[in-house]
Structure 1
């Protein structure tokens, strides 16, 4: 396959491939041509020798937060191949050309929602546990009380108060993305409120906004389900306000579905006699890849006495295949053929750097080998909070 960026009218051809592969039903696809062809999204395609577009991927641009610092990142979406060209390596070929280009363009990490974890692991991506989902009955939250102000957002109203809470909340979570009013509106917007039944509420105490929640009403027999789409808080009072609010719906819903970011375990902190009845599931449908190992190691938080040598292995991006000396305020390429303190694949490094596994878990991987300075490595590679809500 011939791989290159898609341009001009080819973007609409790529759009049709995705519409076919994702089972989309659109009344008038031709009406989307102008919008699609003018979209400023990096689009890659695999073409047959006859010039037919067989497969495509989109690389959406983001600035993901890593230990408080936004870094240039990509969010892979739209991965699709026409059935007549499947099992010929089209998507693989795109990644093998795209990933080194992502390095050259300055990206530090790349993320995606996988259709097949094993396939993407071959491209250097690794699973990240980014969220836990809790299902519980509203009555279990009856013990929480909130005496502040609760206000519902109505379509057409400003969203800046939500933006402020969100950005204050996510700055301490890895893989989160700061928002402006436009991107916040994308999360909250609703065309037909009482048909879509998607509602947003903000909570304030003593004149200060402390939390918000966005939830949907899901039809279900024998009782409807309240599904929380997103929530954020800036204090303990804010988190408790959300729980207290959900506890008010005992007469309306049979169950509540509450997602919480990695690092916040509801079962460890909830105060209710019925905690055993809460069901918890973890989300692993998100994968991460290191695009620039040196820049990622420069970005992560390190102790003041940090000093170790890491050997990184990457089969696709040659610049990542190197030995790096990691100090508190610098990361440099280490020459020579000495023995590193730790050897990792880019798959393992992705998990370790963002903090979705600790070192005890990392050393159980076959692609992690510690030779020295284990105590130092334990101070560097610790578990961290992760918050992922952007879809691409």
Structure 2
């Protein structure tokens, strides 16, 4: 069994394996989209002679972490034929994927797990709680009457200038929003192929685009797919626009962050909400990640030991000085009370703000002095991430 980059001559085997292992067979636009990402990703195959029996795609993406843009490897379409399972093939694919991402400079990785415990074993960790909401017509937001400037378009009836403005606005917001992902034209094309019936509504104030939504209306339900705003006024204007569909829809559905006080200012904020944890993150290269990291207040030298069974290059002791300079040090010290010691999954969740330092230490079961925890907490930005993309 060999793990190799899949040859273009074998791309048909990737389609075949995906269609067998996933519940929905791709056709037409979905198949075209999948083929594009086979071509433009790092596509790994497990070969039994000339037959591809397992696969994994590393999509070349990006992610904003506390205001810093990182190259991100999006792991997707992990599959293996049933007769080849329980042979360690997926483990070899995941191990090779980590090495490839490091070689590609993809410092962090995100995936949507079919099993949290399975991917946690390889070093990924939960980092975002989505809130799925369903608002019945009787609870539609009523934010008063106001003449808002809203421009509409759809993928079917495209307004090129408006679409360009929406794309630029989305990326400007993604750069400053923790967990945001900048979308290039290929990603927008992917969205169009997967949701060709999407509509757009953009809110303008004094001639400037201040927010937009992407949505679809299906079976009397207004499905919010993107909801990106620059400020509270734009948010209210978008909700007024959505509620104006009350004569033709009976529900509004969408996704937001669980840490956001969603619906707080609605007159009737009690409606169905469900928390879902379906994205995980991993730092692939600790040294490179911390070199870019936007450290906060560092009052004393920070020291951390990283445990990482699948990335030997991460298993070091690191020091961060008061200027945020990161270095790898050699030490035989067993004084764990004065040094943070974390497995890579908890380190990853802590550094992106999902876990506090205290929580990470508790879950790691690593006793440490309170003042060390306090020093680390002041050094880390506290904002929680929000990641809505799907792959």
Q: Structure 2-normalised TM-score?
A: 0.88
1:337 aligned residue:
332
1:364 aligned residue:
362
SS at match of 2:73: strand
Shift of 1:8: 2.7
1:352–1:358 CA contact under 8 A, matched in 2:
yes
1:76 aligned residue:
75
Listed as ranges, the gaps of 5+ residues in structure 1 are: none
Listed as ranges, the gaps of 5+ residues in structure 2 are: none
Shift of 1:144: 4.4
Provide the C-alpha distance between the structure 2 equivalents of 1:172 and 1:35, rounded to a whole number of angstroms.
Answer: 32
2:233 to 224, 234, 237: 237
1:178 aligned residue:
182
2:346–2:364 CA contact under 8 A, matched in 1:
no
SS at match of 1:310: strand
Give the direction of change, closer, same or farther, for the CA distance of 1:271–1:375 in structure 2 (3 Å limit).
same
Provide the C-alpha distance between the structure 2 equivalents of 1:16 and 1:4, rounded to a whole number of angstroms.
Answer: 18
Aligned CA RMSD, in angstroms, stands at 2.7
Provide the C-alpha distance between the structure 2 equivalents of 1:68 and 1:379, rounded to a whole number of angstroms.
Answer: 17
2:317 aligned residue:
323
Provide the C-alpha distance between the structure 1 equivalents of 2:379 and 2:14, rounded to a whole number of angstroms.
Answer: 43
2:298–2:324 CA contact under 8 A, matched in 1:
no
1:156 aligned residue:
158
2:3–2:45 CA contact under 8 A, matched in 1:
yes
1:254 aligned residue:
250
Shift of 1:105: 3.1
> Which one is further off, 12-21 or 315-324?
12-21
Aligned residue pairs, count: 379
Q: Structure 1-normalised TM-score?
A: 0.87
Give the direction of change, closer, same or farther, for the CA distance of 1:53–1:233 in structure 2 (3 Å limit).
same
Please give the residue correspondences for 1:99-248 in structure 2 after superposition, counting only pairs within 5 Å. 99-138=98-137, 139-154=139-154, 155-158=157-160, 159-181=163-185, 183-187=187-191, 196=197, 198-219=198-219, 224-248=220-244
Please give the residue correspondences for 1:248-287 in structure 2 after superposition, counting only pairs within 5 Å. 248-261=244-257, 263-267=259-263, 270-275=264-269, 277-287=270-280
SS at match of 1:9: helix
Provide the C-alpha distance between the structure 1 equivalents of 2:183 and 2:354, rounded to a whole number of angstroms.
Answer: 23
